[in-house]
A and B are shown apart, each in its own frame.
Chain A
């Protein structure tokens, strides 16, 4: 039914609390869930969440998931400097890092992984999508990996956005498109 690529994904999303890290992770988990696959989503819940860094692990697989805690991600989405420093060298060989280059200063010299730099926060601000840099990065992830079909993206958004805030679905779709065209 869906034409998304059925690969094993071990994903870390990381940034500041308030950037929508956990929400973006949830969106990815729903791509897997609605695609009929095994998924897990695990947030960091340490005291560092208060104004500090937030991160979450998402696994998508065709087999039951062993460890929901990802330590060597094959996909990293990163939205601040401390998280970039913490996780960029943990990315598995042949993995993919998607970096919000509006906020992250570092550029990786690893040549065994692909690094994609997207000025997502600037793009969000320029397009009246303030606070949706996270979704722009998810859009870019879809472009790079084919992790979700167009049909699945809308279905997942409709599932996780409460019906009282329905108008947000279209804003999120716009952010995804921006990311996919970046």
Chain B
């Protein structure tokens, strides 16, 4: 297979089209604008729809309508734009519809900055809108994974009738790396296999209704409970993590997305100094891969969480390891990218502490 050199944003857009995404509704914002630009160029050539909406709010509501008809569709933005979309995401989740949403994170809060960040972890995993719902969250770490996980996101969103989010960041969006795509014809999605879709019934069946409004409390409760039953299935089936040199590690570094690749360099550097360090990388952030994290930390004495945020994943790691080990944190925020050498310094400090015990 040919290796292409592409930006993360472009690889993701190409993979989405190959996954059958027929409609893309966008609005530009740094550092994800290449997704929109790529879609604008490519969609008309493959029979799909590219639409630049008048705002992020409009774009997510176009996704709501499109998803109702059973067509694979997507929108993308960066942190402040995702906040604007959150009302629409809640409606989509409340209507049990599949779609894919991309967040190429930048520094926040507020308008923040345009440099890479991971400070929307809480928003993505806890509250991408109001109400009782979750979204599937995938955190790619390479340009190849930007492509691979957008495909998976479409499949899982359809399977569980829920929104799936790709949580990337400016570093992954802007960098170029080799990426390969499976050969095969591009086939746009339709509503087949989606009996709930509002795609026209030709008087052959009762009409479908897509709705998130239930004024009867018991009825709303019923829908929420049914949704959470489905989430149990998602939790059983979807969690993914990667571990690297963790089996015999005294110090396990936990990091996701682009920070995980920086941490991996630090782990390699620590190993070359004779420090037993390893890495565990959650790939799904919701559902969180508790079992995989716990297994990766089974022989560890210390856990170090590193993120491009003030430490939003720390609590999830503590819960995953049932608070059995001391967990420390190192992060940079506001768009500052941590250096592998800074992460290494943290590992060395922990190693010295362990030797002193």
Contact = CB atoms under 8 A, between A and B. Distances in A.
B83 interface: no
Contacts of A51: none
B30 A40 contact: no
B107 to A, nearest CB: 12
Contact of B115 (A30, A38, A46): A46
Interface residues of A, number: 20
Contacts of A43: 174
B324 to A, nearest CB: 29
A68 interface: yes
A41 interface: yes
Given A30-B5, A46-B115, A66 B170 contact: no
A69 B48 CA distance: 35
B337 A39 contact: no
B178 A45 contact: no
A129 interface: no
Contacts of A40: 175-177
Nearest to A66: B265
B178 A38 contact: yes
B245 interface: no
Nearest to B339: A71
B264 interface: yes
Contacts of A71: 339
A64 B268 CA distance: 11
Contacts of A42: 171, 174-176
Interface string A59-92: 0000011111101000000000000000000000
Interface residues of B, number: 23
B340 A68 contact: no
B265 A45 contact: no
A138 B3 CA distance: 23
A168 interface: no
B70 interface: no
Contacts of B114: 45-47
Given A41-B5, A45-B114, A67 B340 contact: yes
A150 interface: no
6 contacts: A43-B174, A45-B30, A45-B114, A66-B261, A67-B265, A67-B339
Given A41-B175, A45-B30, A66-B261, 5 more contacts: A26-B5, A33-B3, A41-B177, A45-B114, A66-B262
